[in-house]
Chain A
Amino acid sequence: MSNELPAIGGTAQKRFAASSVRYWNLYSSVSAISLILVIVLLGIVMDRDWVYSLVWLISGLSTLLVLFDVLILNKRRYRYSSYEVTPDHVYVATGRLIRKTITVGTNRILNVETAQGPILTSMDLVLVKLVSAMEVNSLGPVTRDEADEIRRVVLDSQHSDDRAQDNAP
């Protein structure tokens, strides 16, 4: 992989796993259903007319938002997200209207962690967390192989860095 850092706002070499869209769709749906359930329970416990109105309002809004996520946003999120991890740098670009990019020197990453909830497990995907001093940058979901590759690149970079340190006069 080339060590050349993409221009600010530019697209990186890799994309998240193709099934990311399905994961985000499921995540949005589960989150909305959980929220609606909590609101409905609250309505039953409080048993007030205005609370029931609020339940309908929030449920309706949540459903609309989930539909917007599933039909439009998550596909775009996938299309406009990219990343690359090289021995020199980690670069993540996201967003369509406002492009957000994150650049971290690979030498600043202290640890690579992977996280996998039940939905990710069922799809055999992982989220990668790059831990630097006081900050954690997440990327993914990516496949397990891709996560292993990211970990390998970062650790190899650390080893070569340590060797450079040891060989320093």
Chain B
Amino acid sequence: MSATTVRFRDSPKLLAAEYVRAVPMLIFALTAVLIWVDRSTGVVRTMVLLVSVLSALGVLVAPIVRHLTVSYAVDDRGVTVDSGLFDRRSVTLAWDSVAAVEARSSWDLQMFGISSLVISQAADDARRVRVRGVDRAVRAMIEEQAAGRGKPGGVGHVPTEAHGAAPADPPPVAQPDPLPARSDEAPESETIYSLSWRSLVVVSLVHGQLLVLAPPALLTLWELVDMAGLGGRFGLVAEAVGPAGLAAGGVVAVILVGAVATIVRYNAFTVSRRSDSALLVEFGLVERVQRVVRPEALVGVVVQRNIVEVLLRRARLVLLTHDAQGHLTTDVVFPAVPERVLEQIVRDSFGRFGAAAQRTMTVAATTGGTVARILRNSLIWTGATVAVYAGVAMADGGSGLFAAVAALVTAGVVGGVGRVMSSRLAWDSRWEVLLHERRFLVWRCAAVDPTSVHGLATWQPSGSSPERVLMVNARYFAGRARGLLALRTPARDVELLRRSMTVSQVDGGRSEIRGKLS
């Protein structure tokens, strides 16, 4: 670490936030245990009491121990996290190898104005470190360092060595030039996309959030009604409104629940382009997620639209990045973007990937037959699933559980086969990207950088000419191993891809990948 190493611990506010989160649950659990203990006797009672008290002590003491034993050091080369009480560990990530910094502020952290950061390298087996609770100034400093912009000397008021008993460092190697004090201001940014709450309601309907989120929410609601002893009254109301009214009420409730859940999840969804070309994606009400996507981490983009989105002239945009999913929960998704906005975003921000995917989408939309094909495939899939369920249920004549399992298996198998059969892979020579298009249940186009492909498998009938390729699977890396599996690929494009994979060593392709994985 150099002379301008900034050392700090988690903010003391994190202790308060952790207690705010843990204590109510602790009180609830202890109350339950005490009620149980009051009714029991013997050794088991003593043991349960002992374990409960020790667990409670653990919950209370653990945050303090963590606060005292975890320390961080940031300099212009990387971030180091030292941790452990007896078994000390030290993990260092060089800024050069950091693929992403994601900030998260759950409700308890938001109460105290702090956030946690996940700093990660590419690849599933690579390192990541978590800075558990820092204020805005430290967060800005780390994000600047990760973006390759700032230097620790530039952030004047972050906690320094005076706060922590961090381990001693070797003598400084070089004295970096400090930047002018930046206070806690974030890099300048320009908003390129945001969603209002009205748009979020549309997103909820378009993405089918109501189908995913509403059933568990309604079940929970029903349980609460039942626990409150209102089941009888509900029965009376149901009798009064009749089956149609009840169904209508159910639909309204499902839509409301889906919309509220979507708004809570994607609240104030904003995408900004920073002055350092990185994209800043922010969303969430209860937990505010902020994620910086650096241009060099981009492997490709996916444009996807279901039938509703086709009809509403919207599409969702997914960014494939080196850090996606493997470490950071999920890909970056721009939900239900209007076509004209999408066109502008991909043209201005995602270069050749966006241009290729956008052009494919335009071609698919103007060629016609896309909606018909999606509908036909959806009908085949739904029909097969329903037919198997009905057939097995009739044959079994039992509870329907066996039929449900058979239907699920059918849905999986038909879905998998359908996805492959409706896929095609092509080399777009204009933009030098791989295009993977699929029309099964949804229309989906992935534009992927060919240099990220690290393996290619082909299947073909024996004795056929090399021109007849039966199936292709191009394996590439975007946070985890992914594949572009397609049944239709022009042999010329397969050959182009094979050649591109075997000549890239002259430009240091392997070194680049190794660097990202190290």
Contact = CB atoms under 8 A, between A and B. Distances in A.
Interface of A: 5, 7-10, 87-89, 95-110, 132-135, 137, 157-158, 160-162, 164-165, 168
B466 interface: yes
Interface stretch (B3-11, B232-240, B426-434, B494-502): B494-502
Contacts of B477: 133-134
Contact of B505 (A9, A99, A134, A157): A157
Interface in B402-425: none
A132 B491 CA distance: 25
Contacts of A168: 508
Given A105-B501, A107-B509, A135-B481, A99 B462 contact: yes
Contacts of B123: 133-134
Given A98-B470, A132-B455, A134-B124, A8 B513 contact: no
Contacts of B481: 133-135
Contacts of A101: 457-458
A97 B455 contact: no
Contacts of A134: 123-125, 477, 480-481
Contacts of A99: 459-462
B466 A8 contact: yes
Contacts of A135: 454-455, 475, 481
A161 B505 contact: yes
B55 interface: no
B504 A107 contact: yes
A137 B124 CA distance: 18
Contacts of A96: 462
Given A100-B457, A105-B505, 4 more contacts: A8-B458, A105-B501, A105-B509, A137-B455
A7 B456 CA distance: 13
Given A104-B454, A107-B504, A8 B462 contact: no
Given A89-B501, A108-B455, A165 B461 contact: no
B505 to A, nearest CB: 3
A136 B458 CA distance: 16
Contacts of A10: 466
B123 to A, nearest CB: 6
Contacts of B124: 134
Contact of A103 (B456, B491, B505, B509): B456
A79 B517 CA distance: 38
B501 A103 contact: yes
Contact of A100 (B125, B459, B514): B459
Interface residues of B, number: 39
Contacts of A97: 461-462
Contacts of A164: 505-508
18 contacts: A8-B458, A8-B466, A8-B469, A8-B491, A9-B462, A9-B464, A88-B505, A99-B462, A102-B456, A103-B455, A105-B501, A105-B510, A133-B517, A134-B480, A135-B454, A157-B505, A162-B511, A165-B511
B516 to A, nearest CB: 8
A109 B517 CA distance: 12
B510 A89 contact: no
A98 B504 contact: no
B57 interface: no
B484 to A, nearest CB: 14
A98 to B, nearest CB: 5
Interface string B241-281: 00000000000000000000000000000000000000000
Q: What are the nearest 6 A-B pairs in CB distance?
A: A107-B505, A107-B510, A134-B481, A89-B502, A165-B508, A108-B454
B503 interface: yes
A157 B503 CA distance: 12
Nearest to B475: A135
B501 A7 contact: no
A168 B505 CA distance: 13
Contacts of A132: 454-455
A104 B464 contact: no
B459 A98 contact: yes
Contacts of B469: 8
Interface string B92-130: 000000000000000000000000000000011100000
Given A133-B454, A165-B508, A8 B495 contact: yes
A98 B506 contact: no
